[in-house]
Amino acid sequence: MQVRSAEEILATLGKNGRLEGLPFMPEMFKYCGQILRVASRAHKTCDVPSGTGRSLPDCVHLETRCDGSSHGGCQASCLLFWKTAWLRPADEAQKQQPKGLAAAASDCTVDDVQRATQRTARASNGQPIYSCQATCVTEFTKPMAWWEPRPYLEDFRSRNASLARIVRGLLFQAYLHGTQAWRRKLGIPARWLYDLVQNVVGGPPFPIRRGKLPPGTPAPLGDLNLQAGDLVRVKSLEAILGTISEGGMNRGLLFDKEMVPYCGKVFRVKDRVSTFVNERTGELTTLKTPAVILDGVWCQSRYSNSKMFCPRSIYSWWREVWLERVDTQGTLQ
């Protein structure tokens, strides 16, 4: 798809820099005129604070991520939402006005889009409260029932998920709830059987686990001083469980079940993360203990029934204590 010109896109926006509630952010202007590949159809997404699934119309994800330059240098690197009215087929020869263009919305300017990145209110420390696609998810989406079949059909039709992946996801949910594998004691046999089968077929272990760090014990820290480009191996699930609380936390950072499939694998560090816009509050937040993101390692929504197969592809954040440095041959350093 080709991203339309800035002038065409501005003509679709209200003075608040939005189309149907979805903000067009300043970080997106640099893509205007470029031909980009569609990463997925964004017919549904997730609200991170609530953990629920949401639906939205006429939207896709291109292979583009926010660089945070107009949002305090946020390093979350979120996948951007694009309204189809902001795009056209790459082979379209003649420019066309987006369908449904509202004359009253044609006076939006670049400055309006820039101003819309901050709310009028201020945080208690006087710092800006930012507004972005991530903080406004509930404003441009609608609640979606996890049991509604149409989104799963759309996942398949749009090629967001293969039939095999959909079947595996539904079988996991059936097994999880049918055997009560998530329960502490009652689920022990089901977890053992799941791990036995996965070990035979080479799949990841049962993902819903409780951490083993004793209450009141300070969470261990890693000090690898990882930088972009470094090669690392994610430690085994068993090793990571020893670094997190029963609730899955290491110094406030959650080791999520969606991270389990990456255990034992080698990846390259994409970036260090210390500053991000809090999706709940819109405030720019600094991590007391920096984390890293790994190239190509994001949430695949394999195990969460309320947002299964969400295409938002949020980068997983990793503590250095969950990683070990390796050389180019994959050997521990």
pLDDT of residue 306: 84
pTM of the complete model: 0.90
Query: Where are any strands of DSSP class E within the chain?
Result: 2-3, 18-19, 22-23, 38-41, 44-47, 52-55, 59-65, 79-83, 87-88, 118-122, 128-130, 142-143, 231-234, 249-250, 253-254, 266-277, 284-294, 323-325
- Joined together, the tokens standing for residue 296 give 């190509």
pLDDT of residue 330: 66
Q: Which residues have CB under 8 Å from 254's CB, separation 6+? A: 248
Handedness of CA 21, 23, 29, 32 (dihedral sign): negative
pLDDT digits (tens, 9 = 90+) for 181-224: 999 999 999 999 999 999 999 999 999 999 999 999 999 999 89
pLDDT of residue 106: 64
pLDDT of residue 101: 43
* Domain ranges within the chain, ordered by starting residue: 2-143, 150-325
pLDDT of residue 121: 85
pLDDT of residue 234: 98
Q: How many CA atoms lie within 13 A of 137 on its CB side?
A: 27
Which parts of the chain register pLDDT below 70?
A: 93-106, 330
Pairing between β-strand 79-83 and β-strand 323-325 as defined by DSSP bridges: unpaired
Comparing CA positions, the residue from 101, 62, 68 lying closest to residue 82 is 62
